[in-house]
Amino acid sequence: MKITAVSAVYPNYRNVPASWRTHFWQIVVRVETDAGVIGFGYGGGGRAAVEVVNRHFAELVLGRELNSVDDISAIWDHVYAESLPYGRKGVAVMALSGLDLALFDTLGKAEQKPVYELLGGASKGNIRSYATGPDQPWYGELGFSATKFPHRWTEDADYDSAIERATIAREAMGDDGLVMIDTYMSWDPTVTTRMTELLRPFNIYWFEDVCTPDELDAQAQLRPIAAPVLIAGGEHEFTHFGFQEIARSGALDLWQPDITWCGGITAGLRILDVAAEAGIPVALHRGGEVWGLHLIAASDCMDLAGDARRRS
């Protein structure tokens, strides 16, 4: 089977979260083959990534063989190398993520196998879902026993809001449930240290993205301070090369690659190899999306997948 066409589109999203720029949401990549099999993948980077796929990546993969996972890996290496002058991280790798996931979808359809079987089969029987969002009492009513709520730092009063939110979340999840906090790079070492002290009674499982991805040394220094709370992150890092730097720095207790951004399933598998060597657990960012679930099922990823929930 050979690739005959590759294209990307930027859907017209009607319900984009207010915090997202309207030009930077997810793209859809389509792969066509001479066998008539068509596959789809999801990537990041918005309109800029669409241009990367349509004006560069498409010509790179035209006519390439697509008959095995090794073929997909070879395509990944080729496209990554050809985009090195402007890529390596950011939009180009987000575009590559969409292409990679579309290739896996295409191969799975051609072989009439779910993607997790292409990866060697399921290694776990169940995947625990955690609800992400602001409505912890509702998540408890739905039956979730794990949740993650957002907390953006703006001023001193936010210490009080964090305590209030943690109180509600712990009550909703019960004593044995998991409670995590996503700070989206809005805390810093001082805030994180103080939050660790204030939130001890709530047995928080992890603090996510407490600093920017460039502040590796600061996050490494926070690990023993925050313990037993895990310093988690990695959704804004790219490829196994980026995670090798995280491993060398000792920055994080838990890695959270996003396979729709970091380079697809191919990059995800390589990141898992780096994580295994470093002895670090991996919980996919947005693992509850369909591509993430297949990688979780077939790998050493934690059996934990995020599920973004909003009342309609």
Residue bearing tokens 């995590």 = 180
Q: In Å, how far from its chain's centre is CA 248?
A: 21
The answer to whether residue 56 is catalytic is no
* Distance from C-alpha of 150 to C-alpha of 163, rounded to nearest angstrom: 12
Cα angle: 237, vertex 242, 245; to 5 degrees: 120
Burial (CB count <10 Å: 0-12, 13-18, 19+), residue 110: middle
- Say if residues 90 and 29 touch (Cβ distance below 8 Å): no
Q: How far apart are the first and last CA of the chain?
A: 43
Residue bearing tokens 């792969």 = 31
- Say if residues 234 and 302 touch (Cβ distance below 8 Å): no
Which two three-digit tokens encode residue 39? 């596959």
Q: Which of 151, 236, 240, 285 is catalytic?
A: 285
Residues in the chain: 312
Which two three-digit tokens encode residue 181? 């906090």
* Distance from C-alpha of 117 to C-alpha of 112, rounded to nearest angstrom: 10
* Distance from C-alpha of 304 to C-alpha of 312, rounded to nearest angstrom: 24
Write the single-letter amino acid at 291.
W
- Positions marked active-site: 285
